[in-house]
Amino acid sequence: MATTNTFDNTTPGALIDHETDALSEPQKSLPGAICWAVNGSGSPVVPTECMGQRSLQLDAAPMDKDTVLFLASSTKLVTAVAVMQCVERGLVNLDEPISNHLPEFKDYDVIDGWTEIDGGKEEPILRKAETTVTLRHLLNHTSGISASIFDPVYRKFNVWKGWPQRNPTSPETMTFPLRFDPGKKWMYGFGIDWVGILVTRLNKCTLGEYFQKNIFDPLQMKSTTFRPTRNPEIRERLASIIPRDEQGNLQPKPVEIWLKESEQVAMESGGYGLYSTASDYIRFLQTFLMGAENPLLKKETVEEMFKPQLESAQWMRENAVDPKGIAISGNIMFPDAAVNHGLGFIIKDEDSSTGCKRGAAEGGGLTNTYWWIDRSSGVAGLVFLNMLPYMDTAAVNLWIDYQTKVYKALATS
């Protein structure tokens, strides 16, 4: 595949401030969206809302529960479940050196800066890591692995290596040096992409094959896949990824780079590669509310996933190499709110003004696919769009409004 750059128009700008943003009329507009929340039995808490169309074409089909959307980083939750199944089966331990299973992590380097060499060129200053990477580190983003889509240091390393500015498409293009010694700081990155590779090697199959057998088939998730164009029935239900320009206008020409990658790139990314529907994903979210009846994981495994993995919310804030990553990782609605991290997702460390409780998990994908799981309130929900940029203010406000509506309904039921 040609080595093209794919980061243009995909990264968020300054952190959004939902309290003070004054949106123009174009900025208030949204393409299609699905809003859905269920209790532990799968019953809707409030009526499911489907709005808009699958694209901006005049003859576009309406957005509905079975529209196929690019999940982007909402894939990570599926990968976290998959690897915790492997933990349950004794294939890997959360705290053993991950190099036992991923030899790429043996004798890992940490990048401490850059030094000038002959001709004014620079090369990285590297040293050996003082601690070892574990699966727990990969799942809670304390491994030292960053993400070049958001990190100028990794972008500079891409230039030095002659790699394109894009998400990794193979283990070879993911072998960046660590940004810090594992366990010592926090930084959003490609750690869960490595977790996906781990699942494939432990089970000697592709990630899609593992997901299909162990997650999708048990839940009857029939429209979730890494390869949507290979199934004509799925392909015809695809929504376009709609970009918003700098003036706030939605643009009719969709962003298709990830769809092309799904056809051309061999690696199936556990960090961002899945396509799915609201119908499938809400069924998946519901399993976290089912306790001992969860068909995918043991109750004690889910408890471990939702256990705060970091010393405190203050530690996370003070030790985040790039604080914006905390919002990017899932603290999207209220970026200044106190959060911790579980095994694969952000955990709220305080109640939200929407009604969502401390201890709830939440996350999102680059194309504004948002989800949350509040086990104490017995509710899980999603607000799915397919648009850019990430953390679009109008999209996040839709999530805030819908989540508020859900908790008001719970309070009066």
Q: Residue 198: its pLDDT value, please?
A: 98
Distance CA(255)–CA(409), nearest Å, equals 37
Instruction: Let me know if 76 is a catalytic residue.
Output: yes
73 part of the active site: yes
The reported pLDDT for the residue numbered 119 is 78
CATH of domain 30-74+223-412: 3.40.710.10
Q: What pairing do the DSSP bridges indicate for beta strands 275-276 and 346-348?
A: unpaired
Based on the residue annotation, tell me whether 279 is a catalytic residue of this protein: no
| Cα three-residue angle 259-262-268, rounded to 5 degrees | 140
In angstroms, the CA 294 to CA 112 distance is: 44
Q: Which of 296, 368, 289 is nearest to 45 (CA)?
A: 289
Find the catalytic residue in 108, 154, 188, 281: 188
- Cβ contacts of 53 within 8 Å, gap of 6 or more: 31, 32, 60, 61, 62, 63
**pLDDT string in tens for the chain (413-residue length):** 334 444 444 444 433 333 345 567 776 899 999 999 999 999 999 999 999 999 999 999 999 999 999 999 999 999 999 999 999 999 999 999 999 999 999 989 999 999 988 877 899 999 999 999 999 999 999 999 998 888 999 999 989 988 888 777 888 888 899 999 999 999 999 999 999 999 999 999 999 999 999 999 999 999 999 999 999 999 999 999 999 988 889 999 999 989 998 998 999 999 999 999 999 999 999 999 999 999 999 999 999 999 999 999 999 999 999 888 898 888 899 989 999 999 999 999 999 999 999 999 999 999 999 999 999 999 999 999 999 999 999 999 999 999 999 999 999 98
pLDDT at 22: 58
Query: Looking at residue 52, what is its pLDDT?
Result: 96
pLDDT at 170: 85
Q: What is the SS3 string spanning the chain?
A: CCCCCCCCCCCCCCCCCCCCCCCCHHHHCCCCEEEEEECCCCCECCCCEEECECCCCCCCCECCCCCEEECHHHHHHHHHHHHHHHHHCCCCCCCCEHHHCCHHHCCCEEEEEEEECHHHCEEEEEEECCCCCEHHHHHHCCCCCCCCCCCHHHHHHHHHHCCCCCCCCCHHHHCCCECCCCCCCECCCCHHHHHHHHHHHHHCCCHHHHHHHHHHHHHCCCCCECCHHHCHHHHCCECCCEEECCCCCECCCCCCHHHHHHHHCCCCCCCCCCEECHHHHHHHHHHHHCHHHCCCCCHHHHHHHCCCCCCCHHHHHHHECCCHHHHHHCCCCCCCCCEEECCCCEEECCCCCCCCCCCCEEEEECCCEEEEEECCCCEEEEEECCEECCCCHHHHHHHHHHHHHHHHHHHHC
Residue among 73, 143, 223, 240 flagged as catalytic: 73
User: 309: buried, middle or exposed (CB in 10 Å: 19+, 13-18, 0-12)?
Assistant: buried
Q: 55, 74, 76, 262: which one is catalytic? A: 76
d(CA 139, CA 307): 12
Q: What pLDDT is recorded for position 23? A: 67
Residue in 255, 216, 240 with CA at minimum distance from that of residue 61: 240
Q: In the chain, what are the domain boundaries?
A: 30-74+223-412, 87-201
Half-sphere exposure in the Cβ direction for 142 (13 Å, CA): 25
